[in-house]
Amino acid sequence: MSRHYGDVRAVDSVDLEVGEGEFFALLGPSGSGKTTSLRLIAGFDQPTSGHIEIFGETAEGVPPYRRNVNTVFQDYALFPHMSVRDNVAYGLMIRGMGRKDRYLAAEDALEMVRLPGYGDRPPSALSGGQRQRVALARAIVNKPRVLLLDEPLGALDLKLREQMQEELKSLQQALDITFIFVTHDQGEALSMADRVAVFNQGRIRQIGSPEDIYQRPRSRFVADFVGSSNVLEPSFVKDLTGTGTWASLRPEAIRIGDEDGHPATVVSRSYTGAMNRIGLEIRGVRLTATVPADVPVPAVGASVTASWDAAALHVMGADA
């Protein structure tokens, strides 16, 4: 599918298939096409060209309310003048469900997101994390086959965001429905998704499991964007291996101090909590290594050796 706005190709020939019951992440920087792709699936926008199917049914031209999907937005989009219960039950009211039945369904949904007894409260009385749960309850109460989540954790602080990541994954497994999750945070994508599609400039650059994306990037962009990586130029790799090709080397794969390592100079060091980051210079090339915080770190200017297992140097090809 494609979506163009004049000369701007917001989504450019994106081809993907998401399995039933899968937690699928669309990962990429701002403006990469991931949110536009989600809007096309939701029905808030229509493709310039291409085809969209949702469980075998053509979706182009079908309005959002007739698609078996629901969307959770980053800003939650709760109605401030309604109680939590009425917010959750709103979609059921629009569908014509009676008051008693929709309130019972809303309470069940609130129970699932760990907010029992919160139905009478206004959204203004809730924390950011609680409002996020209400937005989730409002989405799942309609029992969609696909739940679309557009950066839903972006407004939360780090600790709450990590907690909600675990809860989202548990909720998806309990509901056994398809989640399509948009994020620019590679940590979120890697920790929750069954598969990840990495977007850049309107196109998918790689699709795979979190392990594949992290350990076996196919391009310099994916290696650099997903986690921290040393992206090595062909000339440097040729000096090391005899083959001129782009390669990726993760910082945690580098060992410092082995007798048979490459001569290196420590050019920087920084403490990040659980790890120390060490800047190394090898043959005029700057690399970053990470070691546990309890491992002694050489001083800046020290001469050391750096080594890694051959399998850790992931070759990406001359045109990566």
Count of other CB atoms within 10 angstroms of residue 260: 6
The model's pLDDT over 234-280, given as tens digits with 9 standing for 90+, comes to 999 999 888 899 999 999 999 998 778 999 999 999 998 999 999 99
Q: Please check whether residue 42 is in contact with residue 70, taking contact to mean a CB–CB distance below 8 angstroms.
A: no
Confidence of residue 61 (pLDDT cuts 50, 70, 90): confident
Q: What residues does each domain of the chain span?
A: 3-216, 228-317
Instruction: Please give the C-alpha separations between residue 47 and each of 2, 5, 13, 17, 283, in angstroms, as whole numbers.
Output: 6, 10, 10, 16, 50
Paired sense of beta strands 178-183 and 195-200, if any: unpaired
**Cα-Cα-Cα-Cα dihedral of 204, 180, 212, 240, to 10°?**
50
Q: How far apart are CA 255 and CA 249, in angstroms?
A: 12
Per CATH, which fold does 228-317 belong to? OB fold (Dihydrolipoamide Acetyltransferase, E2P) (2.40.50)
**Confidence band (pLDDT; 50, 70, 90) for 136?**
very high
In this prediction, what percent of the chain has a pLDDT beyond 70? Answer: 100
Q: Is 55 left (phi over 0), alpha (psi -120 to 50) or beta?
A: left
Single-letter amino acid, residue 160: L
Dump pLDDT digits (tens) for 66-97.
898 999 987 878 999 999 999 999 999 998 99
Greatest extent of the chain over all pairs of C-alpha atoms, in Å:
75
Class of domain 3-216: alpha beta
CB atoms within 10 A of CB 233: 13
Tell how strand 314-317 and strand 303-307 pair up. Answer: unpaired
Token pair belonging to 151: 């950066």
Q: Is the pLDDT of residue 319 over 80?
A: no
pLDDT digits (tens, 9 = 90+) for 222-244: 999 998 899 999 999 999 888 89
Q: What pLDDT is stored for residue 37 in this prediction?
A: 96
Question: Tell me, what's the pLDDT at 73?
Answer: 85
Evaluate if residue 155 carries a pLDDT over 80.
no
Residue 235 has what pLDDT?
A: 93
Distance CA 163, CA 38 (A): 24
| Exposure string over 112-147, b if 16+ CB within 10 A, otherwise e | bbebeebbeeebeebeebbbbbbbbbbbbbbebebb
Cβ(77)–Cβ(135) below 8 Å: yes
Q: Extract the tokens encoding 267.
A: 């050019």
pLDDT of residue 75: 80
Give the Cβ contact number of residue 228 at 10 Å: 13
pLDDT value of residue 145: 92
What is the rounded CA–CA span in Å between residue 137 and residue 22? 19
Q: Output the average pLDDT for the chain.
A: 92
Separation CA 169–CA 40 (nearest Å): 24
Give the confidence band of 158 by pLDDT, cuts at 50, 70, 90: confident
Distance CA 45, CA 34 (A): 13
Which pLDDT score is estimated for 318? 72
**What is the pLDDT confidence band of residue 101, given thresholds at 50, 70 and 90?**
very high
